[in-house]
Amino acid sequence: MSIEKALIDAVMKVYQSKGVGKFFSINFLVETDGEFVFEVCFPPDCLNPQGNVQGGMITSVLDDCTALCVLFSTKGKRLPNTTDFHTTFHRPLSLEPAIIKASILKIGKNIVSIEGKIFKEKNKLVASCLHTGFLFDTHGMKK
């Protein structure tokens, strides 16, 4: 799939300027064969009492990256309105750069299913998710 660099740059500029996109410092790295790769650097405010990244923060990043995957795949025309989101945690994540990989499992006329995974150093799987959403058009959205 060929994704226009200009579209990705424009979306990421807006996304990184406010809200969770700014808070989490998520960066798009590359897309290969429908798999979108992002990097995240969690801020210290995301730590739980044990000193690891809190699970809800990991889930939030997976939610955003899987949604960005849909937005990029539809050339900026559609986003998922989440109807179901399951996260499975495999190991803790300390404050270190992490890699997120997201890909669409199935996209239909109205529903999309996306898979997301977050990895720590040495490609160790931290968490995986299945994100299902009702697709809505982005036209008319506030910029």
> How much is the average pLDDT of 6-29?
92
Environment class of residue 6 by beta-carbon count within 10 Å: exposed (0-12), middle (13-18) or buried (19+)?
exposed
> How much is the average pLDDT of 79-93?
97
Question: What does the pLDDT read at residue 140?
Answer: 52
- Tens digit of each residue's pLDDT (9 = 90 or more) over 23-62: 999 999 999 999 999 999 999 999 999 999 999 999 999 9
- For 126, the enclosing helix (H) or strand (E) is strand 124-137
Residue of 79, 67, 83 lying closest to 28 (CA atoms) = 67
Helix axes 5-15, 55-73, angle to 10 degrees: 150
Q: What is the pTM of this model?
A: 0.93
Question: What does the pLDDT read at residue 38?
Answer: 98
- The Cα 60–Cα 112 span in angstroms is 18
